Structure 1
Amino acid sequence: MNSPAASGPRTARRPVRRPAWAGRNYTLLTAAAVVTNLGSQGALVAAAFAVLESGGDAGDVGLVAAARTVPLVLFLLIGGALADRLPRHRVMVAANALNCVSQASFAALVLAGEPRLWQMMVLAGLGGTGHAFFGPASEGMLMSSVGGEHAGRAFALYRMAMHGAGIGGAALGGALIAAFGPGWALAVDAAAFLVAGSLRAFLDVSHVPAREPGGGMIADLREGWREFAGRPWLWSIVLQFAVVNAVVSAAEAVYGPLVARDELGGPGPWGLALAAFGAGTVGGALLMMRWRPRRLLLAGTLCVFPLALPSAGLAVPLSAGGLAAVMFLTGVCVEVFGVSWMTALHQEIPEEKLSRVSAYDWLGSIGMIPLATALAGPAESAFGRGPALWGCSALIVLLTAAVLTVPDVRRLTRRTEKAAEAPAPAPPAGETPAGARVRPAERSPDGRELSPSGD
């Protein structure tokens, strides 16, 4: 028999609802990014083990990695121009389809036994080509999916979801490789691309204004270059990160494992440091969901200085615990910069040029990484490991200080939607207009913002 309390009226629970700013497109993009990162992080490790298990050496692993990077660099600008010319979601779906096919073929070769080096290089090159077209289209699509007032919070949540999925994906990939071999980890990545591409096929671009016919691909690239080169805050920070990303990659990909082997007792401490960095990025994203710095680029650029600490910590070297603490702090700071940069680009770049500008940003961010990693060994031989690491730290500090001399970087301020928004026709029900991004008609040189160069 029920008690009166049990049989009395109950308060109905309200269904959990997503925030008003997290519209359909944003939700689909975030879900697809989580699925992709769950597969791709393990696949990067699986590709290296596939090369080694087929009889290759470290040089062969480098060749496969280079085969992926070269087409990524070569096709980025074309991918950006194409994404501003065609519906971006179609470019993204086509790129995901190419990645799905290339990874499925890679997996089939590995599972069949003894894949050849040239085959793995060709398939890695196809994967890099797909990413070159996907990246600019994805960034442009994400930025057009949220309104200006909530952009920072939306980008922080998106990046937190991506980083969290990347951490989980690396653990999942390692477990799959250990239990079943690299072929199955590659197969999971192919399936992840299939699922993510299917989600992105449902993106709605009806609110995006039709692109006006242009003068061709070259004219589009020139227009994107003018947009990029005409903003001192934009090209100065991209130049900064061309070097910063390069030396950070050299320190982490080459010197970090060597220091762990020679000074810290093996790969375990370096793995702990990398895990701490991943945790820091999640913490930084959580911070940026609440903190909205008024001077976006100033706050973001000040947070680049700590990126010099891991190289310095390896040069000392710090203990495993000290190195993990430094990497955690670095992860937090990377996210403060990343969200501030994305918010600035979202605010300042016209929607129809976002993908082209993002392509120049990407090109600057990754273009020097292969050269830096290739020169890391000769630099160690010529100067010693410690001086080479201190040199990495010094370059980061000097370049970041130089960027702070750019007035636009110091003065660019976040604008509220009320202050910047002009009256506009009401959008169709349930849609977020692309123009909801804060985009003033005219602006002084210090009135701009950026998008994340690191990822």
Structure 2
Amino acid sequence: MSTAAVSSSPNAPWRRPAWAGRNYTLLTAATIVTSLGSGGALIAAAFAVLEAGGGAGEVGLVAASRALPQVLFLLIGGAVADRLPRHRVMVGANALNCLSQGAFALLVLAGEPRLWQMMLLTALGGTGQAFFGPAAEGMLMSSVSGEQAGRAFAVFRMATQGAALGSAALGGALVAAVGPGWVLAIDAGAFAVAGALRAFLDVSHIEPRPPGDGLLADLRDGWREFTGRPWLWSIVVQFAVANAVVGAAEAVYGPLVARDSLGGAGPWGRALGAFGAGTVAGAFLMTRWRPRRLLLAGTLCVFPLALPAVALAVPVPAEALYVVMFVTGTTVEVFSVSWMTALHQEIPEDKLSRVSAYDWFGSIALLPPAMALAGPAEGAFGRTEALWGCAGLVVLVTAAVLWVPDVRNLTRRTAPVTGGPTPSAPSQGPNSSAASQSPENSTTKSTSADTEGPLGGLG
């Protein structure tokens, strides 16, 4: 009996789509769990600093403390994830995140935490993310194959961003009702549950990596793969700037504007929730829409990323901010799914984690100085002027990347759906007519939804 016949029978049991295998299902479930915790934890960390007597400078230092170890350890994390079983790297990273976030929660619940303690614990969380991100990226992309990969990524994003939506809205309310300590404790528990789920991932379909010539040789190999694709490194450079300024605007200035003009943690949590709702809508759109020019469509949808900074600069009423955040989330998610699909079809499976590490590294490299300098910039130029500058930089770098021919011309490929993930051959370039190759943040543009950075799934 055909699949169509089974699905049309009223008494037939529900079956997962052919592209939603065991690993894909486990990865999606685990990321939903961590998304439920991390959305509120973002708000809780900022307000924990503010309740301890800190200001913009202290909020920026704590945020930078998480981003700095990500920059330092990402490349090593990518090489390790392409050499060791990726699920073990992910479980170890989740354990570190659980312990560091749990300790942060205990400090906040016990009394007034010191700035250096909060910085140290968030730095440990950033170290875990540096190893988790590249492994998660490679694991997710190796769990799907064929022409339905784009739909699989869109469904993954829709599920995890839907969880983040509820988490952000509820997190702001919980911070206001019970304080940031309990919200951080919930996030620690979420990491524990997600790590347990990821321990059951099956990596038997991935061929063991040959011994090779060591870590530096692996990094050089990944660097050649990364720099050999203009569309790849140019978009990473674009997001190095965009993530830095949006990170400063949302992680540092956002809570301050919320405190001074919007009514505190509750409205800010609802604004982040509106962004999450937009990402769910964008992911749903991408289950139906399959743009032929992947990166052209995606990059055009990055321009609205400047809108939240503009709304905070005015500042607009809370209700208008919710609309702005929803629209931004919708358009940015179009880019996120397009980006994942491009990486899946262009990058060989055995290099996915290393390429992802260079992607993450470039995309967050400027986050630590941007967040650390957000407070001094507010003092030197004023908060409103700093926010307008953030918006202008997003527009400038996004317009610049459209001059790269491969960004405008890289097209979606089609291939027959296979029975499962298969190792991919080296890509023939962005305009190759070869079949789609099989190979998660944020970020990002990180595509792992477990990141607690300012952009959630863009990294």
- TM-score, with length taken from structure 1: 0.85
- The residue identity in structure 1 corresponding to 2:422 is A
> 1:232-381 counterparts in 2 under 5 A?
232-257=230-255, 270-381=268-379
Do 2:306 and 2:391's aligned partners in 1 also have CA atoms closer than 8 Å? Answer: yes
- The residue identity in structure 2 corresponding to 1:442 is Q
- Sequence identity (%): 73
Unaligned runs of 5+ in 1: 1-10
Quick one: distance in 2 between partners of 1:305 and 1:72? 26
- 1:158 equivalent in structure 2: 156
CA shift for structure 1 position 353: 0.6
- 1:432 equivalent in structure 2: 420
Q: 2:428 aligns with which of 414, 439, 442?
A: 442
Structure-2 change in CA distance of 1:64 and 1:327 (3 Å): closer
Structure-2 change in CA distance of 1:443 and 1:103 (3 Å): closer
CA shift for structure 1 position 146: 0.5
Q: 2:40 aligns with which of 42, 49, 74?
A: 42
CA shift for structure 1 position 130: 0.9
Quick one: distance in 2 between partners of 1:316 and 1:48? 22
Structure-2 change in CA distance of 1:101 and 1:18 (3 Å): same
Do 2:401 and 2:407's aligned partners in 1 also have CA atoms closer than 8 Å? Answer: yes
**SS of the residue aligned with 1:148?**
coil
- 1:14 equivalent in structure 2: 12
Do 2:74 and 2:357's aligned partners in 1 also have CA atoms closer than 8 Å? Answer: yes
Quick one: distance in 2 between partners of 1:25 and 1:33? 12
Do 1:100 and 1:194's aligned partners in 2 also have CA atoms closer than 8 Å? Answer: yes
Structure-2 change in CA distance of 1:337 and 1:254 (3 Å): same
CA shift for structure 1 position 87: 0.8
Do 1:88 and 1:138's aligned partners in 2 also have CA atoms closer than 8 Å? Answer: yes
The one-character-per-residue Cα deviations of 1:359-382 (angstroms, maximum 9, x if unpaired) are 111111112123223334444555
Residue 21 of structure 2 corresponds to residue 33 of structure 1: no
Quick one: distance in 1 between partners of 2:188 and 2:430? 47
The one-character-per-residue Cα deviations of 1:100-131 (angstroms, maximum 9, x if unpaired) are 22233333444444554444333222211111
The one-character-per-residue Cα deviations of 1:217-276 (angstroms, maximum 9, x if unpaired) are 111111111111111000000001111111222333344455556666777665544332
Quick one: distance in 2 between partners of 1:13 and 1:219? 56
Do 1:407 and 1:446's aligned partners in 2 also have CA atoms closer than 8 Å? Answer: no
Do 2:56 and 2:253's aligned partners in 1 also have CA atoms closer than 8 Å? Answer: no
Structure-2 change in CA distance of 1:45 and 1:374 (3 Å): same
Do 1:106 and 1:120's aligned partners in 2 also have CA atoms closer than 8 Å? Answer: yes
Residue 219 of structure 2 corresponds to residue 231 of structure 1: no
CA shift for structure 1 position 209: 1.4
Residue 123 of structure 2 corresponds to residue 125 of structure 1: yes
CA shift for structure 1 position 319: 4.6
- 2:134 equivalent in structure 1: 136
Number of residue pairs aligned between Structure 1 and Structure 2: 433
CA shift for structure 1 position 133: 0.5
- 1:7 equivalent in structure 2: none
- 1:101 equivalent in structure 2: 99
Quick one: distance in 1 between partners of 2:47 and 2:402? 42
Structure-2 change in CA distance of 1:295 and 1:184 (3 Å): same
**SS of the residue aligned with 2:280?**
helix
- The residue identity in structure 1 corresponding to 2:69 is P
Do 1:64 and 1:121's aligned partners in 2 also have CA atoms closer than 8 Å? Answer: yes
- 2:199 equivalent in structure 1: 201
Do 2:96 and 2:128's aligned partners in 1 also have CA atoms closer than 8 Å? Answer: yes
Higher-Rg structure is 1
Do 1:411 and 1:446's aligned partners in 2 also have CA atoms closer than 8 Å? Answer: no
The one-character-per-residue Cα deviations of 1:18-42 (angstroms, maximum 9, x if unpaired) are 2111000000000000111112222
- The residue identity in structure 2 corresponding to 1:311 is A
Q: 2:69 aligns with which of 68, 71, 93?
A: 71
Structure-2 change in CA distance of 1:114 and 1:171 (3 Å): same
Structure-2 change in CA distance of 1:188 and 1:216 (3 Å): same
**SS of the residue aligned with 1:18?**
coil
Do 2:82 and 2:350's aligned partners in 1 also have CA atoms closer than 8 Å? Answer: yes
Structure-2 change in CA distance of 1:256 and 1:102 (3 Å): closer
Quick one: distance in 1 between partners of 2:178 and 2:257? 30
- TM-score, with length taken from structure 2: 0.85
- The residue identity in structure 2 corresponding to 1:92 is M
**SS of the residue aligned with 1:289?**
helix
Do 1:103 and 1:123's aligned partners in 2 also have CA atoms closer than 8 Å? Answer: yes
CA shift for structure 1 position 85: 0.6
Do 1:71 and 1:128's aligned partners in 2 also have CA atoms closer than 8 Å? Answer: yes
Quick one: distance in 2 between partners of 1:204 and 1:314? 45
Quick one: distance in 2 between partners of 1:142 and 1:115? 37
Quick one: distance in 2 between partners of 1:100 and 1:259? 30
